[in-house]
């Protein structure tokens, strides 16, 4: 019995010791065998920079400018106006003109005045004429302003102007007839038909394609640069830097001589530089007027006639061109492009003053009623202004349109549409005072 009891106690003690060995680990001896050893890298022990602040990113907004939204009382024509933006764009880094629809409603022969009374006109023709009996008969004539679409329309208006107004004014001394545009050369030809008696009283006669009251005169007797002002009609009619009939002067020589020496003139520059097609000239002596042909030019103040002068002594008499021919072809579509100026977005550089510091130059599409521009069709030349540093606050745009010569371009009340992409920084306010006092002010 005692043996059985001892055996039971032994078994219990053995079982308890067995369970204690499984319930407790052999720490700390077991830790090295259960954890994987890893060699640290440079990235793991270096403190990394934080991610870039997303508030410094870019955002692009689309701005549609409709000229109908301008102040109509202050800006009657959409060719020049100030547009106050409803939203202020801060920290602007670029402004791009992505699309535009601009009307071709402007005139190529025009007459306009600005608010200060300054004249912008290319429809003025100034006839300079003096006579012995009535003195100065000079007068300004106006070609009707409008959109001349073809040469025939211009020729008709010129013929009407000369026959209905100019010829009445110069009568009875002479008549200008015909006035036409040569269909082969496209050059303007004005034929002078003198009166056999009254024309002898004319002492000076030529055209200026400008208003002498508001522009520098092109009188050949005045020593100044002979250039037409911006608003001259001369380029359209084929004239350039010269008056029509400017080579008038005095005759000196001997009766029957072939040589004529000019005074107050320069034959080489005033007559066409050709060998066998010199214009005819009108020579008046004391009794009548003769039409003579030029054979050749000897020097800057001497020419030779094809036949001897058969009149009386022609000392101190005048001579004039028998036909006035424009040196260049008539060019109705003289405006090749529109100059868009936005004062806040100056970006262009040019040797032409009218383009310097403007925003964009837009070629004119004469075949359509409006000129359309889209950056999708002009991928190599985008009209975009970049700002570095960013432009602080864009709150208005001062928009104006000009001709190639710097004259204001008038749309005659027809409105246009401009589409801009304005890109700015997300974090507004950091550069808000950078450009203060420069462009907006």
pLDDT digits (tens, 9 = 90+) for 387-413: 888 888 899 999 999 988 788 889 999
> Which tokens go with 217?
């005169």
The pLDDT mean for the chain works out to 78
Q: What gap in Å lies between CA 433 and CA 410, rounded to an integer?
A: 36
Is 325 in a helix, a strand, or coil?
strand
- Dihedral of alpha carbons 196, 198, 203, 207, sign: negative
Q: Report the distance separating Cα 207 and Cα 193, nearest Å.
A: 15
| Per-residue model confidence (pLDDT) at position 153 | 94
CA dist., res. 192 & res. 174, Å (int):
7
Domain with CATH 2.60.120 in the chain: 55-106+335-425
Question: Which tokens belong to 59?
Answer: 């955002």
- Measure the CA–CA gap between 302 and 326, rounded to whole angstroms: 22
What separation, in Å, do the N-terminal and C-terminal C-alpha atoms of the chain show?
A: 119
CA separation, residue 426 to residues 199, 241, 369 (Å):
79, 55, 41
Do 190 and 324 contact (CB within 8 A), yes or no?
yes
pLDDT exceeds cutoff 50 at 274: yes
pLDDT score for 8? 65
Mean pLDDT of 246-275: 67
27 pLDDT more than 70: no
> Environment class of residue 2 by beta-carbon count within 10 Å: exposed (0-12), middle (13-18) or buried (19+)?
exposed
- Of 267, 277, 274, residue with least CA distance to 247: 267
| pLDDT confidence band for 340 (50 / 70 / 90) | very high
Instruction: Say how far apart CA 43 and CA 46 lie, in whole Å.
Output: 5
pLDDT tens by residue, 38-90: 666 665 666 666 666 555 678 889 999 999 989 988 999 999 999 898 888 88
Cβ distance 58 to 419 under 8 Å? Answer: no
CATH number of 55-106+335-425: 2.60.120
Q: Is the pLDDT of residue 324 over 90?
A: no
| Residue 259 pLDDT exceeds 50 | yes
Whether the predicted model's global pTM rises above the 0.75 cut: no
Tell me: pLDDT of 121 over 80: yes
Residues 6+ apart with CB under 8 A from 184: none
């Amino acid at each position: 019995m005692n043996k059985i009891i001892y055996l039971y106690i032994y078994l219990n003690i053995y079982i308890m010791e067995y369970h204690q060995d499984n319930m407790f680990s052999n720490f700390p001896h077991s830790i090295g065998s259960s954890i994987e050893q890893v060699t640290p890298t440079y990235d793991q022990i270096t403190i990394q920079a934080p991610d870039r602040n997303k508030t410094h990113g870019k955002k692009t907004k689309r701005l549609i400018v409709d000229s109908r939204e301008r102040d109509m009382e202050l800006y009657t024509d959409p060719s020049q106006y100030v547009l106050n933006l409803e939203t202020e764009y801060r920290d602007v880094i670029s402004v791009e003109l992505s699309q535009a629809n601009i009307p071709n409603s402007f005139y190529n022969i025009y007459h306009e005045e600005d608010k200060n009374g300054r004249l912008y006109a290319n429809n003025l023709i100034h006839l300079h004429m003096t006579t012995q009996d009535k003195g100065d008969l000079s007068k300004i004539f106006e070609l009707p302003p409008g959109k001349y679409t073809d040469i025939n329309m211009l020729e008709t208006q010129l013929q009407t102007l000369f026959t209905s107004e100019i010829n009445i004014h110069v009568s009875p001394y002479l008549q200008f007839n015909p006035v036409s545009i040569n269909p082969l050369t496209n050059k303007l030809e004005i034929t002078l038909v003198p009166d056999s008696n009254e024309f002898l009283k004319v002492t000076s006669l030529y055209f200026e394609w400008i208003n002498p009251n508001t522009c520098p005169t092109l009188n050949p007797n005045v020593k100044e640069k002979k250039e037409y002002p911006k608003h001259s009609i001369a380029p359209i009619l084929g004239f350039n830097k010269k008056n029509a009939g400017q080579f008038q002067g005095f005759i000196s020589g001997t009766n029957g001589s072939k040589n004529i020496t000019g005074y107050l003139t320069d034959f080489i520059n005033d007559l066409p530089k050709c060998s066998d097609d010199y214009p005819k000239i009108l020579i008046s002596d004391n009794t009548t007027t003769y039409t003579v042909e030029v054979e050749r030019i000897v020097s800057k103040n001497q020419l030779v006639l094809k036949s001897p002068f058969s009149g009386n002594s022609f000392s101190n008499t005048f001579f004039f061109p028998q036909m006035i021919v424009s040196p260049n072809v008539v060019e109705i579509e003289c405006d090749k492009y529109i100059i868009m100026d936005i004062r806040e977005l100056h970006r262009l550089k040019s040797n032409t003053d009218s383009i310097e510091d403007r925003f964009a130059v837009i070629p004119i599409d004469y075949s359509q009623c409006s000129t359309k521009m889209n950056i999708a069709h002009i991928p190599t030349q985008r009209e975009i202004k970049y700002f570095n540093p960013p432009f602080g606050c864009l709150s208005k745009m001062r928009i104006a349109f000009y001709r190639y010569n710097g004259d204001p371009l008038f749309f005659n009340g027809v409105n246009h549409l401009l589409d801009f992409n304005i890109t700015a920084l997300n974090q507004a306010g950091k550069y808000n005072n950078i450009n203060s006092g420069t462009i907006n002010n």
